[in-house]
């Protein structure tokens, strides 16, 4: 690491610590030439994922924007929207893809919501699938009621 004072190209690490968020490492360094001490931060370099919208536009994947949309559907429900958004982000990063359609992301959200909370699933699906009338909404409800129900624990249940 180049010294910010004398520009000497080498330094030694005195101390390394993870930051509070756990997303980077703070290193305390000392220049071998002038003895000046300085801090550096090491972060993982990720490849940005482009989301292809329905109208053909492209924008970078934003976990916070995704979490906001999920939170609206999960309002007053015992569902951790941030955890769902984080799991989707991790799945996308692990897949090592550079582009994904917004439709695919929406289906990933629906799959996770269907597993944990049917009400949140219906709320999200009503916006995402853009139900035009009561018949399309009723058809989705009927499709859900045909499948076997499984009870999942929630944060509100007491043991």
Regions of the chain short of the pLDDT cut 50: 152-153, 157-159
CA–CA gap between residue 154 and residue 159 (Å, rounded): 11
Hey, how many other C-beta atoms are within 10 angstroms of the C-beta on 117? 19
The gap from C-alpha 67 to its chain's centroid, in whole angstroms, comes to 7
Percentages (nearest 5) of helix, strand, coil residues in the chain: 40, 20, 40
The pLDDT value recorded for residue 147 is: 62
- How does pLDDT run across 57-75, given as a tens digit for each residue? 999 999 899 999 999 988 8
**Beta strand 58-60 pairing with 50-52:** antiparallel
DSSP-assigned beta bridge partners for residue 142? none
């Amino acid at each position: 690491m180049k010294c910010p004072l004398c520009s000497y190209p080498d330094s030694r690490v005195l101390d390394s610590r993870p930051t509070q968020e756990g997303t980077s490492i703070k290193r305390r360094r000392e220049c071998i030439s002038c003895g000046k001490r300085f801090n550096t931060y090491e972060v993982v370099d990720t490849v940005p994922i482009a989301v292809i919208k329905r109208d053909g536009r492209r924008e970078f994947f934003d976990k916070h924007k995704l979490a906001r949309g999920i939170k609206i559907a999960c309002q007053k429900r015992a569902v951790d929207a941030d955890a769902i958004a984080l799991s989707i982000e991790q799945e996308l990063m692990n897949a090592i893809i550079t582009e994904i359609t917004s439709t695919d992301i929406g289906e990933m959200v629906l799959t996770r919501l269907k597993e944990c909370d049917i009400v949140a699933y219906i709320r999200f699906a009503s916006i995402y699938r853009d139900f035009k009338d009561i018949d399309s909404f009723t058809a989705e409800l009927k499709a859900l009621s045909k499948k076997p129900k499984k009870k999942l624990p929630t944060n509100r249940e007491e043991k």
